[in-house]
Structure 1
Amino acid sequence: MNEAIFGAGVASYPAGVLLRTSVYSTNLRAAFSLVCADDGMPYGALSVNVPDADLAEDEILASADWNLPAELKAALLGTGKFVQTGRSNQVGLGRGEIWRIADPELLSQVAAARVVTRRTRPVRRAEALA
């Protein structure tokens, strides 16, 4: 599979970044991280996990602009894979926008990650006895 490179010339100059899909193990919300396209080293996190944030299953809390370059976030929005909802939530020192995942392939990857995480989660003894 030929992966899409985002932010070439903006992020991880000049190579750009690759989008990685997973879920947060604590609440199974969608999680997106970025790795450098040329060497696979971690670049940053697109999403952040704020457990109290009111999010739908197909939404993420995008990191505040102090965490990722605004140009890179704009490039990711420009792909159509994500859509701004017009809502935001406090994230660290700034406000993170709530984005809806609009790409069926990304939604499928998130669903698969949820299944894997549920299967590999250790079962607490009290839960096993219930």
Structure 2
Amino acid sequence: METWFSLLVTFFFTVAIYLLLSKSIIRVLLGVAILGNAVNLLIFTGGRLTRDVPPVIAEGSDVLSGPAANALPQALILTAIVISFSFFAFLLVLAWRAYEDLATDNTDEMRVAEPVNEPAPPLGY
């Protein structure tokens, strides 16, 4: 099962990097969201995927009785979901505000949209 999840993580990272390299702000935002999900899934997969034994120590014992899922990555992922949602909401508002002020979604056009009194910077590639 870890093999399928590792392939899914690879696919998510590939799509996220492709979208982050785009010139459209909306695609960049989607790339950031997918990248966050890829990292969360990577952490989750690294914490072992097993349904056999819950990570609870039985009464009268000091250690787990057998292999169990690690609860720490799951707790980290719950925290990361909240942080990534607030980060995505901030970036969405920032992109909306930039679109309202500059009337464009293209990052190359945003570079030359403002200020009006200054010459446009060279677009050297």
Structure with greater contact order relative to length (CA < 8 Å, sep ≥ 6): 2
Give the TM-score normalised by structure 2.
Answer: 0.24
Q: Which has the larger radius of gyration?
A: 2
- Considering fraction of residues, name the structure with more strand: 1
The alignment's TM-score, normalised by the length of structure 1, stands at 0.24
Structure holding more helix per residue: 2
